[in-house]
Amino acid sequence: MNIKGRNRVVIENVYPEIDCGKYPIKRVVGENVVVEANIFTDGHDSVSAVLLYKQKKEKNWTESPMNFIVNDRWRGEFLIEDLSNYVYCIEGWVDHFKTWLGDIKKKYDARQDISVDLLIGAKEVERAMYKAKGGDRKRLKEYYEIVCDTGNPDAAIELVNEPEFTNLVYRYPDRSLSSRYGKELLVRVDRKKALFSSWYERFPRSCAPDPGKHGTFQDLEALLPEISRMGFDVLYLPPIHPIGKINRKGKNNSVICNPGDPGSPWAIGSDEGGHKSIHPELGTMDDFLHLVKKTQEHGMEIALDLAYQCTPDHPYVKEHPEWFKKRPDGTIQYAENPPKKYQDIYPINFESEQWKELWEELKSIIEFWIDKGVKIFRVDNPHTKAFAFWEWMIEDLRDKYPDTIFLSEAFTRPKVMYKLAKIGFNQSYTYFTWRNTKKEFAEYLTELTKSEVREYFRPNFWPNTPDILPQHLQFDGRQEFLKRLVLASTLSSNYGIYGPAFELCVQQAVSGKEEYYYSEKYEIKHWDWDAPGNLKNFITRINMIRKDNPALQFTNNLHFCKIENDLILSYVKTTGDLSNIILVVVNMDPYHTQSGFVHVPLEKLGIVPDQPFMVHDLIGDAKYIWKGERNYVELNPHILPAHIFRVHGRLKKETDFDYFM
């Protein structure tokens, strides 16, 4: 009988626990981990339980109490304080003192003889006493004598109702027969930027001040002050490596490449080098190092694009033909999605027999750039590379460089996207780009923020990318750009835009597609960044609002508000202590004014129901005094499609009203 037969407490259905504990949950420093479990025992005995947690590298557990919620469900929580992986577990035990506390009162109230029962309780107090030291022990000795005094049950019962007494005994529980949950569950801890980041994507080659010239890292440096002023903190560059010359694509993805066509940066590799080289026209490695440094000085970080694929002239093709698939005619298999062919791209063959060398080389690319000061990588099409590779690679690198962040560019099937997050990606692209109606947003955000997905998948919302100019941005005008910006930046704490196409409201697509017409992917652009109608100041304000309001620096704190108009979406976000409350109202109709009564969840927000409270529109700066749950809103999309209200509630004292003066 290889069983702990006397340990009667059951601990099961622990949440969060991803795929039976195979994958970690994710947190950033400063976030809480809330843990729930079914905890119970046989019979009528009471149970106590603690949540155990520690940094993985530490030896000793810290404990925090677990509390009974309802129906054998218990809950506890702990705070992530350091950039270090944590583990958690649960311990529960039959608590005879707690059982006794509950029983003795009932018996006393029923006027039964409790003298033997007092002696049973006294044993518990005595047990605690022998465990305690110093003042506690002395105090417990006094309590012990009172409980022992069967001639004076009233005094003992008075004690039983005294929290000082009960808490002191609880401090020394008898856990000799406790049960421990069978697994230690991992928390992968990231730095704060993994949860709160504002991305700006820009092609360096389009940064030259002179039209027609190839932009350089130096040209991009000149734009850093403005990008920083706009409030972004991640500057993401499409691939900066030499661009293939064989089968290079021309303008508008044409198979005909005219002289001077620069090709797509995602067609990586030429006689000038591969993934560890820099496209010569952008500058030198020193220029890049300088850019990295300057970007940091402006409070931002460079994110590089990681596209594991090669052009026919990539050095790997010659040096490691075994990493590619060979066709029966001796040529190497190019990428295809029949009947489409991508003859400028050779996919890597993850079934290669030399997979170990391949994996090491791919990892070394990232280490190369980490060494150059890059810590953020936007990974191109990760779902077309072997999952086992990502899992191995990210875990290995994250152990060495815990501040690395990988953003997964996978607009693919949901289970595949979630799998990538489980195996290590810190942020992920999403279906945000194709969600349109209030119902679609409510359903999708509920899945992202209220299901288990919230524990390991961090959305990053992009209204546009060089690959995607969604239909609504093609047809619904400037106000639609404003709307999508507000939605992306307030629904998700991570968001990004592809600029300047976004702030210049570029709307022209390849007919019938969601592709940019004359896409920057295949040519150098000269943007008139200050063109009339540009959204730079609006974006600046939105990013400022995000920086000033910690409620917007989380995603899972989202709560949708009821409103009797299907064309208005409204939601609140708050900090845990309710010191920062943001209420967003968005008119989903790009053409007409919409109005309605938004239901403010007063109780959830800690607002006294019968007192007025102030809402301050952080976009338009207007202030309103509201009262009660239902409050009127009206939005003309041609003026502004959204409110971002800061709610000033909890007005319990008159002096708080000073705020309104």
What positions carry a catalytic annotation? 380, 409
Tell me the residue length of the chain. Answer: 661
Instruction: Please say which residue, 188 or 385, places its beta carbon nearer to a second copy.
Output: 385
Tell which one of 98, 193, 419, 541 touches a second copy (CB under 8 A): 419
Instruction: Please say which residue, 104 or 237, places its beta carbon nearer to a second copy.
Output: 104
CA distance 402 to 109: 59
CA distance 200 to 197: 10
**Helices and strands (DSSP H and E) totals, the chain:** 16, 29
Tell which one of 59, 110, 154, 259 touches a second copy (CB under 8 A): 110
**292 token code pair:** 């990295």
CB of 71 to a second copy, least distance (A): 6
254: DSSP letter? B
Segment contacting a second copy by CB under 8 A, of 364-372, 386-394, 437-445, 612-620: 386-394
CB of 421 to a second copy, least distance (A): 13
- Binding mask 399-418 toward a second copy (x if CB under 8 A, else -) reads --------------xxxx--
Instruction: Please say which residue, 86 or 389, places its beta carbon nearer to a second copy.
Output: 389
CA distance 193 to 493: 10
- Contact call for residue 123 and a second copy (CB under 8 A): yes
- Contact call for residue 318 and a second copy (CB under 8 A): no
Q: Count the neighbouring beta carbons within 10 Å of the beta carbon of residue 370.
A: 17
**What Cα–Cα distance (Å) separates residue 444 from each residue in 234, 244, 409, 434?**
25, 39, 18, 11
Task: Give Cα 634 distance to the centre of its chain.
Answer: 32
- Contact call for residue 384 and a second copy (CB under 8 A): yes
Q: Are 352 and 389 in contact (CB under 8 A)?
A: no
Instruction: Please say which residue, 237 or 362, places its beta carbon nearer to a second copy.
Output: 362
Tell which one of 135, 338, 512, 532 touches a second copy (CB under 8 A): 338
**277 token code pair:** 């080289």
- Contact call for residue 431 and a second copy (CB under 8 A): no
CB of 337 to a second copy, least distance (A): 6
> According to CB under 8 A, which residues from 158 to 197 bind a second copy?
177
Instruction: Please say which residue, 415 or 653, places its beta carbon nearer to a second copy.
Output: 415
CB of 359 to a second copy, least distance (A): 7
Instruction: Please say which residue, 5 or 151, places its beta carbon nearer to a second copy.
Output: 5
Segment contacting a second copy by CB under 8 A, of 26-34, 328-336, 533-541, 547-555: 328-336
CA distance 37 to 185: 13
CA distance 22 to 90: 17
CA distance 355 to 348: 10
In degrees, rounded to 5, the angle at the alpha carbon of residue 487 between the alpha carbons of residues 486 and 493 is: 95
Instruction: Please say which residue, 92 or 649, places its beta carbon nearer to a second copy.
Output: 92
In the three-class reduction of DSSP (H, G, I as helix; E, B as strand; rest coil), residue 536 is classed as: helix
Segment contacting a second copy by CB under 8 A, of 364-372, 381-389, 456-464, 514-522: 381-389
Tell which one of 55, 252, 352, 540 touches a second copy (CB under 8 A): 352
CA distance 614 to 649: 7
Tell which one of 13, 296, 537, 636 touches a second copy (CB under 8 A): 13
- Contact call for residue 398 and a second copy (CB under 8 A): no
- Contact call for residue 6 and a second copy (CB under 8 A): yes
CA distance 382 to 182: 34
- Contact call for residue 576 and a second copy (CB under 8 A): no
Burial class (CB in 10 A: 0-12, 13-18, 19+), 423: buried
CA distance 234 to 226: 13
CB of 3 to a second copy, least distance (A): 6
Beta strands in 481-588 (DSSP E): 494-498, 558-560, 568-574, 581-587
Instruction: Please say which residue, 26 or 205, places its beta carbon nearer to a second copy.
Output: 26
> By C-alpha distance, which of 530, 637, 546 is closest to 593?
637
> By C-alpha distance, which of 145, 11, 153, 196 is closest to 88?
11
In degrees, rounded to 5, the angle at the alpha carbon of residue 557 between the alpha carbons of residues 650 and 87 is: 120
- Contact call for residue 332 and a second copy (CB under 8 A): no
- Contact call for residue 259 and a second copy (CB under 8 A): no
Instruction: Please say which residue, 20 or 256, places its beta carbon nearer to a second copy.
Output: 20
Instruction: Please say which residue, 173 or 242, places its beta carbon nearer to a second copy.
Output: 173
Segment contacting a second copy by CB under 8 A, of 40-48, 249-257, 571-579, 580-588: 40-48
Q: Which residue has the tokens 């530490």?
A: 58
Tell which one of 56, 383, 526, 599 touches a second copy (CB under 8 A): 383
Segment contacting a second copy by CB under 8 A, of 308-316, 323-331, 368-376, 502-510: 323-331
Segment contacting a second copy by CB under 8 A, of 198-206, 321-329, 443-451, 586-594: 321-329
In the three-class reduction of DSSP (H, G, I as helix; E, B as strand; rest coil), residue 198 is classed as: strand
> By C-alpha distance, which of 414, 551, 544 is closest to 492?
551
648: DSSP letter? E
CA distance 473 to 498: 13
Tell which one of 27, 40, 157, 345 touches a second copy (CB under 8 A): 40
Q: Count the neighbouring beta carbons within 10 Å of the beta carbon of residue 251.
A: 15
- Contact call for residue 12 and a second copy (CB under 8 A): yes
Tell which one of 30, 102, 225, 260 touches a second copy (CB under 8 A): 102
CB of 555 to a second copy, least distance (A): 24
Backbone phi, psi, residue 61, to 5°: -80, 145
- Contact call for residue 567 and a second copy (CB under 8 A): no
Contacts to a second copy by CB under 8 A: 1, 3-8, 10, 12-13, 19-21, 38, 40, 42-44, 71-72, 94, 102-104, 106-107, 109-110, 112, 116, 119-120, 122-123, 177, 327-329, 331, 336-339, 347, 350-353, 355-356, 359, 383-389, 392, 413-416, 419
